[in-house]
A and B are shown apart, each in its own frame.
Chain A
């Protein structure tokens, strides 16, 4: 806990002059904003531990205001607001398993699975012959998000997306 916010320690470097005070220079990520900052502590100083827990949960549904998740072990349900869900909202489909970070028992952030498979609800037909140029076109997904896809990809197809970059990976062959 720093200045009232929970942080995750990314790196911890020991700094000490031969004759002089020892310090720990740490890189910390603010779990609320995602920002990474450098902070230096006097060695031996202590900070309050943040009550933070990462739990795998199943995504249930959204009512537009909140996104609802269920802990698969306890069946306990949690509602995350727009800020907590963040970009993950673009990729969440009913029943997907994702990682929910709980802070003092409430969802603080949601991480979508690294890869998701979503159906294209709208995209313009590709122009034959253009595939060689490696051109792309926008496609709207069932979640409402828009991604760039190659020209040969068609409406109603299911595609695989890397949620960390938001980029198209491949087509998924349907049965």
Chain B
């Protein structure tokens, strides 16, 4: 007989439903408005590390959103105030024990929030969603460079390229002589640094290198780092957030750089979302935003190791 059963347990479904209710109550308490934005959009992300899925509607390509970020920023520019959304997002080629190409994001934006404030709110939300599970340790906040220093004594941005390559090779990288510094950072951080993070509590890493700013504002005092953070539980990444870039020129330049990088990597160029650029130009209010992996938090709450166990039908059975 063909396997038809769900990949989640009945108990798991109940936990998800309770988590969704808790998330909505969390934001209602803080006067953050729930919104919905289109899943099928005419433009998509330029980020060379994120590949979109396209659907053809009446001969026209539409993209399944990789996150609701662009549409939500257009709402912010229109002056709606603090907003959140719990929605499906889609990323091609991301499939594994903790990745499903279709997944649930919980994304929110807070006006005038500092990096400190948004990091603390993210930890508060995650702890709220874990309800019956109490973490044995309070969250640890550590700058990216310090997390690396604790392992190697030196920050990666201070290491010469041959040293980065040597560390990568010692840790099993194949053909890393051809990797860019950013690729080496990502490998060393996820394979060597993140395994040093506690399994008893959350680790919040902030002040990422400027080269990995994505849509984050750079630090006012140190332009070498970006006001970006990530929340980890052990090596499991739970959320990514920024104090948002509000400079339209800078944003356009980063999108163009993304496209150049895409071409160098043999990927197709992505048409830049001019509506987003116009919205930022009109005036994106000072704000901070977070994309949280709802399924990942559900994994932690359920104490399971695979994403399949927290979604009703995983990629194989959908």
Contact = CB atoms under 8 A, between A and B. Distances in A.
Interface of A: 2, 13-23, 25, 37-43, 45, 47
Contacts of A21: 49, 182-183, 186-187
11 contacts: A14-B97, A16-B94, A16-B99, A19-B47, A21-B183, A23-B190, A25-B172, A39-B172, A39-B173, A42-B175, A42-B176
Given A14-B97, A14-B99, A25-B191, A19 B172 contact: no
A136 B58 CA distance: 78
A2 B291 contact: no
Given A14-B94, A14-B99, A20 B212 contact: yes
A20 B95 CA distance: 15
Contacts, number: 71
Given A22-B94, A39-B174, 12 more contacts: A14-B95, A15-B96, A18-B237, A18-B291, A18-B293, A19-B214, A23-B190, A41-B175, A42-B175, A42-B176, A42-B179, A45-B174
Contacts of A14: 94-97, 99
A47 B191 CA distance: 21
A172 B293 CA distance: 60
B240 A18 contact: yes
Contacts of B9: none
A17 B174 contact: no
B180 to A, nearest CB: 9
A45 B190 CA distance: 18
A9 to B, nearest CB: 12
Nearest to B194: A17
B93 interface: yes
Contacts of A13: 96-97
